Structure 1
């Protein structure tokens, strides 16, 4: 998405300026209004900052080239440390100064220094962090905005620490579950390559010497092998062009919306992505309501915490319905992203006036379901892996064993 430079005034009338990422100027204006800033000027600009770019002009290009990049673990530890400092009553400027001195990563230390300077200039923390989109994700920035609006910044940083820890644990579990299937698939693909390039051509020369014809499946594999060897530069170019084109399309608003919707329908990963995103939505929505933020404004800010464009659009649809005077239950049903059990919990919460407590329960339920899905991920992948291996073995069997069976008859009855 493009970046926009803005100027605006906060609730105290102080002039603020910075850079935000958004689909268009209207989306950036919504972000500013949601954080309590009245925009005065919004214009398209180039990307201002990546990890360690802002405030690092004094650092040579050689140092930046060989410098260790900021990792998610750095951000996770930063979230925990700032939570502890704020909870202990340490002023945020003093806390950031201490974190800057104790930071192991020099690039992250420069980012913290720039955050201090931005806060000292009167900018909000979320806006200062928005200058580093490669370090602080849109979800992270949206949660910080929620904390600034509600006055519960320390609780938000604790939530962010838990989220980053859960996300890292989820990624490790997924990698562990996919390690064995990945090795098996790679071995099968290598076997197919070896058979097509070295084995089947030998069969072709032997059958040709007997004047016999290769079986159909063997001929198909041989033709595929010859085509791949002859046209591999074109195939490699098409593959690279397809990847670049897909990334460019995914950066557009419509492309990201379509792809994020497709991700939710993937056989195994779709359920995990959907439940994890809805758990984050329920957590941040409960936090906003408990802090006294109006429902419409809470939904506006919370929709930005969803790292899925399709689910974010469904939450915006809920906000529009509530703004028209509809109930939360009705808009949640129309969004078509909640399960019937969750809708029942929303109905009870809305009727009893404890929607924030019920949203916390919904988040817990989704998190437990994500944890269960991750624990059973290997068993869910096994049927897909077995089916794939069965197809590969069938192709190899028909392509290799059939000519072996026919070779004897071809030798006895040469044409």
Structure 2
């Protein structure tokens, strides 16, 4: 079976387009005619997507947020889950998402639960997502669970887009700076070297500039290969457990990154914990499931110890106070929530406040990066230009 993008006219003459699953192009046409559609363009999705396979092979965060929000809306209006998956599959014309939805729908029709079908895609649906869906299936409030998850995913997507947008300008400046340096050391300075070639002595800054230019001309290919090779090497190292432990431990000690790392983990933990408590999960079980959403190994270990203390009968607030996840202000909120019995509201409030804190940190950092990049480019490139001018002036002072 393959997917085909189609454009057709319905019985009233209105244009209709979407995605349909069929064994061949003719089979797709026949299925469209059964639906009382007159197709005028049918193309196989896989053939159209081959040129962009690198960009279409995965389900993105935006796709996941769209899927979750749409399922919440469809379930709230009384649509069955398998029917809802088929509707989204036909309207969202991306090969990776359509194929995944087709497989999930097929698993459900064969008797699997939705949570079981989702667990077949761990790269898309994490443990917390699947656990919440399983709780929603058991309690019957699956639509509300999807709605809560969609809000959390929407925040992540907006924050991701905001960070990418804020870093675009500094990256462009850095790219222009690198091109300028490459042009100066490969084309401008070598011509100056011919001018200085017959001089008996040169100022130290001129000699340094010429040496750097000569080194770059001799080894720039190896330098470029080293930079290119560092990217897959860094990706490979980031997947090694030893490197992850080192980085997670180091990230909590760095002055600027430490607070941001703890804030991100606090958002993950508290948002999941709030959703589970609202779904009626006991606090000890909710702590265990939400702790699996913490990526930092150090904080995860601290939360595991706190969860065991709560399970043995310790109060929640003192146990969480011993972790690095909650500053004193949030501990006071936890005390109020534990005394009033409204922990779900408190955890939701902590998650929202942490989101605001992280957005503020992101705004401050991106606002700081832009002038720093401008200063770097102006200082570096400007310094080279000044040295070139000083070298030209020194020609009058150097004897032949």
- TM score, norm. by length of structure 2: 0.76
Indicate the residue corresponding to 2:289 in structure 1.
301
Indicate the residue corresponding to 2:178 in structure 1.
189
Is 2:72 the partner of 1:87?
A: no
Question: 1:73-119 deviations in whole A, cap 9, x for unaligned?
Answer: 33222111110122233332333333334443344233222212222
The answer (yes or no) to whether the contact 1:215–1:402 under 8 Å persists in 2 is no
C-alpha distance in structure 1 between counterparts of 2:238 and 2:134, whole Å: 26
1:5-404 map, 5 Å = 62=47, 65=50, 68-69=56-57, 70-137=59-126, 140-141=129-130, 143-145=132-134, 147-148=136-137, 151-216=140-205, 218-262=206-250, 271-272=259-260, 274-382=262-370, 384-389=372-377, 391-393=379-381, 395-397=383-385, 399-404=387-392
C-alpha distance in structure 2 between counterparts of 1:358 and 1:380, whole Å: 33
C-alpha distance in structure 2 between counterparts of 1:390 and 1:366, whole Å: 36
- TM score, norm. by length of structure 1: 0.73
The answer (yes or no) to whether the contact 1:258–1:310 under 8 Å persists in 2 is no
Higher Rg: 2
Structure with the bigger RCO (C-alpha within 8 Å, sep 6+) is 1
Q: Choose 204-213 or 74-83, whichever is displaced more.
A: 204-213
The answer (yes or no) to whether the contact 2:46–2:95 under 8 Å persists in 1 is no
C-alpha distance in structure 2 between counterparts of 1:152 and 1:393, whole Å: 61
Question: 1:45-85 deviations in whole A, cap 9, x for unaligned?
Answer: xxxxxxxxxx9999997577357544433322211111012
The answer (yes or no) to whether the contact 1:96–1:116 under 8 Å persists in 2 is yes
C-alpha distance in structure 1 between counterparts of 2:127 and 2:203, whole Å: 58
Question: 1:157-189 deviations in whole A, cap 9, x for unaligned?
Answer: 112222232222222222222222222222222
Two-structure CA RMSD over aligned residues (Å): 3.3
C-alpha distance in structure 2 between counterparts of 1:56 and 1:245, whole Å: 42
Structure 1 residues 64 and 177, CA gap change in structure 2 (3 angstroms):
closer
Indicate the residue corresponding to 1:40 in structure 2.
none
Classify the secondary structure of the residue corresponding to 1:409.
coil
Structure 1 residues 397 and 264, CA gap change in structure 2 (3 angstroms):
farther
Q: CA deviation at 1:331?
A: 2.6
Structure 1 residues 270 and 65, CA gap change in structure 2 (3 angstroms):
farther
The answer (yes or no) to whether the contact 1:118–1:128 under 8 Å persists in 2 is yes
The answer (yes or no) to whether the contact 1:311–1:337 under 8 Å persists in 2 is yes
Classify the secondary structure of the residue corresponding to 2:93.
coil
Question: 1:234-276 deviations in whole A, cap 9, x for unaligned?
Answer: 3344334433332222212332333345556677676555434
Alignment size in residue pairs: 357
C-alpha distance in structure 1 between counterparts of 2:383 and 2:108, whole Å: 64
Structure 1 residues 147 and 373, CA gap change in structure 2 (3 angstroms):
farther
Q: Choose 286-295 or 61-70, whichever is displaced more.
A: 61-70
Question: 1:285-341 deviations in whole A, cap 9, x for unaligned?
Answer: 122223332222212211233355554444333323323433322232222122221
The answer (yes or no) to whether the contact 2:128–2:272 under 8 Å persists in 1 is no
The answer (yes or no) to whether the contact 2:135–2:279 under 8 Å persists in 1 is no
Classify the secondary structure of the residue corresponding to 1:81.
helix
